[in-house]
Amino acid sequence: MARSMPRDLEVALPPVIVHAVRDREARRRHAAEAREERLRWAETLLRLPLVWRQTRGEGIKVAILDTGIDADHPDLQGAVVEARDFTGEGIEDRNGHGTHCAGIVAARANGVGFIGAAPECELVVAKVLDGEGRGKLSQLVAGIDWAVEVGADILSLSLAAEADDRELHRAVHAALAAGRIVVCAAGNNGALGANTIGYPGRYGSVVTVAAHDAMGHPSGFSSRGPEIDFMAPGQEIWSTWKEGGWAQLSGTSMAAPFVAGLAALVLAKHRKPGRHATPILDNQDLKEHLLRMAAHPGWHDPARGHGPLLPFAYFLADARPLVEARAVRRGRGRQVGSLERDAKRRRAN
């Protein structure tokens, strides 16, 4: 009797909220607002302009595994160094989601649109989802393997499968074993169950990211589960969009590339000449550095993880010692206040 072939499961985008879309012509009509909008609330709140004085992610390759890329977008000029389509549609982004995630990471500081979290990093784009935001796990697995092969330092995955898969597990953990950083969106299923995180975000070895609003509170749509590591901005986020446009979206899909961008800043800083007491060799090392940015490194809950990230404190040498960050106590948490209030409390200690 012939052996049945394993089923190629589906992987898809989490449902995101699209608040507004501006095509290129609409952008021209709103030219007076362009300068004001170039810094999103997230970059302003996290004080990334201060961080950019030290590092802008230069020399770091971030892989976006998503719906492709608008490679001709004026805010992404020169950002893409490698691109490959695994869907058969071609690399062009027919959905917009992939271009949006790419812009959150790497939109250039070029006087156009917005500025990404790591505006001088390089993008490796693997199109693993089609224009409808769907694909097969075999495409995702091939994209992960390819991203590692071409030298991506960080893999950003704002997608999910409902069930685990042996090949997905192999590919993700092979990337981790090769010293790559893997950042995953938690998903947008809210508190519908005890654990609503999809795969690969449910793998405890990756960096799993929930979303928060401008006050640092967890977004209602953000998935919950013990694998949540941190929260990042994920509500009403402007970024690049297909066909040269811009769009404002909400979802953990937006939060994950923010953390991928922060990871690029950390790696770039630690690869500069000089001695570093805490070299970053793998995903676990990077997690510990992110833990130093976290509002609550000694506290954890399934909605917030260790809380919002405060990169300005880390990069401006106002972070907790790493030994304190490693002393993690998992237990019942308290309500997270605003980012600014938490930052003031830390500086007062």
For residue range 55-85, list pLDDT tens digits in order: 999 999 999 999 999 999 999 999 999 999 9
Give all domains of the chain, ordered by start, each with its CATH number. 10-348 (3.40.50.200)
Catalytic (active site) residue 285: no
Full-model pTM:
0.86
CA-wise closest residue to 210 among 191, 187, 179, 243: 187
In the predicted structure, residue 339 carries a pLDDT above the cut 80: no
Q: Is the pLDDT of residue 170 over 60?
A: yes
Q: Check 156, 222, 223, 253 and give the catalytic one.
A: 253
Selected residue with higher pLDDT from 34 and 180: 180
Top pLDDT among 223 and 329 is at 223
pLDDT band at 44 (very low <50, low <70, confident <90, very high): confident
Q: What gap in Å lies between CA 47 and CA 310, rounded to an integer? A: 9
Among the listed residues 73, 97, 212, 300, the single catalytic one is: 97
- Residue 331 is predicted with a pLDDT of 36
Catalytic one among 66, 93, 285, 301?
A: 66
pLDDT-based confidence at residue 285 (cuts at 50, 70, 90): very high
97 catalytically annotated:
yes
**pLDDT score recorded for residue 3:** 39
Q: Which pLDDT does position 36 carry in this prediction?
A: 44
Q: Distance between CA atoms of 106 and 123, rounded to whole angstroms?
A: 7
Q: Give Dmax over CA atoms of the chain in angstroms.
A: 71
What is the average pLDDT value for the chain, to the nearest integer? 85
The arithmetic mean of pLDDT across residues 75-104, rounded, is: 97
Residues 215-225: what's their mean pLDDT? 94
pLDDT higher at 84 or 23: 84
Active site residue 66: yes
Q: Which residue has the tokens 């499961």?
A: 9
> What pLDDT shows up at residue 342?
45
Q: Residue 24: what pLDDT?
A: 63
Output the pLDDT for position 38: 59
Contacts of 66 (CB under 8 A, 6+ apart): 13, 97, 98, 101, 102, 125, 126, 127, 128, 129, 157, 158, 159
Q: State yes or no: pLDDT of 37 exceeds 50.
A: no
What percentage of residues in the chain have a pLDDT greater than 70? 83
